[in-house]
Structures are given as structure tokens and as C-alpha cells.
Amino acid sequence: MKKKYDANKKASEVVKPEPNKSKEESGKGVSTGTGFFISNDGYVLTNSHVIEGSTSISIIQKGKSVSATLVDHDPNNDIALLKIDKSVKGLPIELKKKTKQGTDIAVLGYPNIGLQGNEQKATFGHINANSGIQGDTRYFQISSPIQSGNSGSPMVNDQGVVIGIASASLNQTAALETTGTLAQNVNYAVKIAYALPMLISHAVEYIESTEPKPLEKTKLIDSISDSVVLVVAK
């Protein structure tokens, strides 16, 4: 029988920002993640670890770079709020209805741009559980695949409403030491409700869900794609 896993070891790991190797070699340390518009006046949500340690942040929208300001960040819940000076299309968020186990989801973002290119990538799955590693209720466990660079990607339901922010994967070393096998597609997204205090404190005019009808996958992605951006942190 395998020894019990030491609770002090890290059992989950963030979906790391994608490093830009050419910039790293020149000492500039550029990395990328994903963000999404949370209001129509230019507020952007992403993960705190995407912008951690950076002195300059920008977003890429439709191939154009726009300077972004860091408004606030919450490392404990891995959430950061950015702002650009531009009118945009914000995504609605779900705050009233509890998301149930088994709910269909989609994640849209910019994983591994150095290998996969700059086009948005969509993955699909469902909610596996309403808690994360070791029962952490701030997170959903999800089956939708996520990679480096997906940090900060919006996780939406089949109506195109944001219910979470893709942020972490189960640590494979922890899984191997605990169970003797590698984890299969165990990922996590922080629940959007944990961004609410930050949004309220900065008077962000976020958009609540109006219970739209479910969309088939191609229309779903079309409905959110213009609101999902590449985040570049230096």
C-alpha cells in the first residue's frame, strides 16, 4: 500500500503563462495568457499568476496591441482585473444560479502560442465536480482540456455565460505519488463569483446573465470570440 500523500506538497499547479523564448533569451521575460472583457467599457479579467511580477501589460485584440492597466489582483483566488481605454463587448456572468455537476462547458483561449500559433483555441467538456483539489469550493473540476497559455480563459456554459476562469491542473507528480498513476484530464477553474468583490469595489459595470437560450457549439464560440483576448505580460 502506497504511503499517504504529504498534504504539504503541492497537489495542483497553475496553468502556466506561455513564455516567449526569444524574449527570455534577451532577458525581457515576456509571457502570455488569456483574458476576457467583463464589461463594455474595457475591463478585463484574467488570472493573477499571468501578470505576477510584470511591469508592463498589454492585450492583443484582433491582431492589434493595446496597453492595459493593472487595476487590482487577488493572488489568493488567482484573479486579476485589467483595464483598457476602449469600448468593447463584455461577456455576461452567472451569479444567481448554481452551476450543476455535468453542465456542458467551453473554454476559449490562447494556449501554447509558440507551438500552436496565435489563433484562438476552443475546447469542450463538462463540470466534473463543484469543488477543486482537496474539496476547495472556490473551484470547479472540469474535463475541458487546458494548456499553458490558457490561464485566464473564460469558461462558459452552453449559453455563452461565464461561470469560471480556467486556472490550474492537477499536479501529475502528486497524483503519481498518491495513487501510482497519472491523472487523466483533471483541470480546475475558479468560480466567477469569487471575482465579484473585486468588480464591486472598482464599480465595474459587469453584465449579469439574462438566461439566454443554449447555443450549438459554432454559434457559441462566435458569440464570445471577440471578447477573448491574448494577454502579454513583460
In the DSSP assignment, the letter for residue 217 is H
Q: How far apart are CA 200 and CA 174, in angstroms?
A: 37
Q: How far apart are CA 91 and CA 68, in angstroms?
A: 18
In the DSSP assignment, the letter for residue 95 is -
> Is there a domain that residue 180 lies in?
yes
Lowest mean pLDDT among 24-28, 34-38, 64-68, 130-134: 24-28
- Which residues have C-beta within 8 Å of that of residue 154, sequence separation ≥ 6? 34, 36, 45, 91, 107, 108, 109, 162, 164, 165, 166, 224, 227, 228
Q: How far apart are CA 6 and CA 221, in angstroms?
A: 41
User: 4 vs 9, 131, 181, 193, 203, CA distance in Å?
Assistant: 11, 21, 14, 33, 46
Write out the catalytic residue numbers: 49, 78, 151
| pTM of the complete model | 0.85
Q: How far apart are CA 190 and CA 163, in angstroms?
A: 9
Instruction: Read off the pLDDT band of 6 (50, 70, 90).
Output: very low
Residue whose C-alpha is closest to residue 106's, from 143, 51, 132: 143
Q: Which CATH number belongs to the domain containing residue 186 in this structure? A: 2.40.10.120
pLDDT tens digits along 81-121: 999 999 999 999 999 888 999 999 999 999 989 889 899 99
Largest Cα separation within the chain, whole Å, is: 59
Per DSSP (E only), the strands in 90-151 are 92-93, 104-109, 121-129, 139-142
Residue whose C-alpha is closest to residue 192's, from 122, 116, 121, 127: 127
Quick one: average pLDDT of 210-214?
Answer: 86
Which residue range is the domain that position 58 belongs to?
A: 12-207+214-233
> Is there a domain that residue 192 lies in?
yes
> Is there a domain that residue 225 lies in?
yes
* Long-range contacts of the stretch 215-223 (C-beta < 8 A, 24+): 215/158, 215/159, 215/160, 217/106, 217/122, 217/124, 220/106, 220/156, 220/158, 220/160, 221/106, 221/108, 221/122, 223/160
φ, ψ (nearest 5 deg) of residue 219? -70, -35
The answer, yes or no, to whether residue 194 has pLDDT greater than 90, is yes
Task: Name the domain count of the chain.
Answer: 1
> Is there a domain that residue 66 lies in?
yes
> Is there a domain that residue 150 lies in?
yes
109 pairs with which residues across the strands?
Answer: 121
- Identity (one letter) of the amino acid at 157? N
The answer, yes or no, to whether residue 154 has pLDDT greater than 50, is yes
Quick one: average pLDDT of 20-25?
Answer: 37
Residue whose C-alpha is closest to residue 139's, from 96, 192, 189, 93: 189
> Is there a domain that residue 38 lies in?
yes
> Is there a domain that residue 226 lies in?
yes
